[in-house]
Amino acid sequence: MNLFGKEVVLITRKSVFVQFDNLDQEQVKSLFGNLDHNLRHLEDSFKVMVICRDNGLKIDGEEQDVERVLSFLKHLDLVAQGGVRLGQDEFRSAIAIFKEDDSEGLHEIFAQRLELSFPRKNVSPRSINQKRYVKAMEQYDLVFAIGPAGTGKTYLAIAKAVSALHERQVERIILTRPAVEAGEHLGFLPGDLIEKVNPYLRPLYDALYDILDREKTLKLLERGAIEIAPLAYMRGRTLNNAFIIMDEAQNTSSEQMKMFLTRMGESSKAVVTGDVTQVDLPPGKTSGLVECQKILSTISDIKFIYFSEKDVVRHKLVRDIIMAYETHDKKKRK
């Protein structure tokens, strides 16, 4: 149809019923979420109307929107057939992945589980970048993960380290952080050195407790299979047969970053995580994480993975908050 010299495509409405023949009632219930929360999110994301009937869905909307939902559900069907159960957060992540790149196989991403010792939960990538991150940790001995909070940088690195320890690819896990926080210095905090340092390392303990549990984590700590220490404790050491993770690397100086990177010994892997938008160093002090991106850019055996707010897997408000701050910062720069 041609109107005033311009091509106009008339979009028609379409109504279809999708039957999940390969899934039982329990799997369908899991797929749709508690009180059909997942279906409501499906409606909001694709601008369609969805009604759950028996073992299937009635989908109504503009033809192109319905076709997109059908394509998404085909991907989702393969995920469910693979035995992967998606919670409400994972379902939202699946929609975000599909909308970002519908050529990515959702079942390949969610089926990429990390084999863990004493597993408490399934750990698998929940975004395209997380999939690339996990693959990078398998292929490279040194990986940098840079991006905002809530994108799974540290969590996935620790899960991968636990997996490597379980598979006996390494003999120990070493987790470290620079003891630098906004407006605080160790000398002014109460207690002895251990009491001063522990609050800075607490997020690493939290991740381990979540992936394993408190009791098993403490046992691995006692026998030296896991070590958690401030970055300053790494100086002068050679770390062989280890999976080494440095968290909050944006708060390292140039000298500290070089010191850490040169601790790698034989049969070791290292992962460096950080958010270059949250540097807590004194004014005028260059972040080692910011600087090393340029210095190490020509070394092909090092991999940099960059995350954005699209990869946030915490509460959905975290993504909105990050985007709001980015918008605010852009306005300030202008």
Beta strand ranges found along the chain (DSSP E): 2-3, 6-7, 13-19, 49-53, 56-62, 142-146, 172-177, 226-230, 242-246, 269-274, 302-306
- According to DSSP, residue 12 is labeled P
Q: Which two tokens stand for residue 26?
A: 């329990």
Q: What is the b/e burial string over 126-164, where b = at least 16 CB atoms within 10 angstroms of the residue's CB?
A: bbbbbbebbebbeebebbbbbbbbbbbbbbbbbbbbbbb
Residues of the chain with CATH 3.30.1370.10: 12-110
For 133, the token pair is 């991150």
Q: Which residues pair with 303 in a beta bridge?
A: 143
Provide the token pair at 66.
């319905």
pLDDT of the chain along its 334 residues, tens only? Answer: 333 344 444 457 788 877 766 666 666 666 666 557 778 888 888 888 888 776 677 888 888 888 888 888 888 777 777 666 676 777 777 887 788 776 666 777 776 665 554 455 567 787 888 889 999 999 999 999 999 988 999 999 999 999 899 889 999 999 999 876 533 444 444 444 455 556 778 888 888 888 888 888 999 999 999 998 889 889 999 999 999 999 999 999 999 999 999 999 999 999 999 999 999 888 889 999 999 999 999 999 999 999 988 788 766 677 677 778 878 777 777 6
Task: Choose which CATH entry (3.30.1370.10, 3.40.50.300, 3.40.1550.20, 1.10.760.10) describes domain 12-110.
Answer: 3.30.1370.10
Rounded Cα–Cα distance for residues 197 and 176 (Å): 11
How much is the CA Rg of the chain, to the nearest whole Å? 23
What single-letter amino acid sits at 184?
Answer: E
Using an 8 Å Cβ cutoff, are 130 and 156 in contact?
yes
The per-residue pLDDT for 203 is 84
If residue 159 lies in a helix (H) or strand (E), which one and from where to where?
helix 153-166
Nearest to 205 by CA among 226, 184, 180: 226
CA 92 from chain centre, in angstroms, equals: 14
Residue 247, pLDDT score? 95
Tell me which residue has tokens 């850490």: 260
Residues 6+ positions from 144 with CB-CB distance below 8 Å: 249, 271, 272, 273, 289, 292, 293, 302, 303, 304, 305
CATH fold of 128-333, please? Rossmann fold (3.40.50)
Tokens of 216: 């098993």
At residue 302, the pLDDT reads: 97
**How many angstroms from the chain centroid is the CA of residue 144?**
13
Question: Helix or strand or coil: residue 255?
Answer: helix
- Residue ranges, comma separated, of all CATH 3.40.50.300 domains in the chain are 128-333
Contact 204, 177 (CB under 8 A): yes
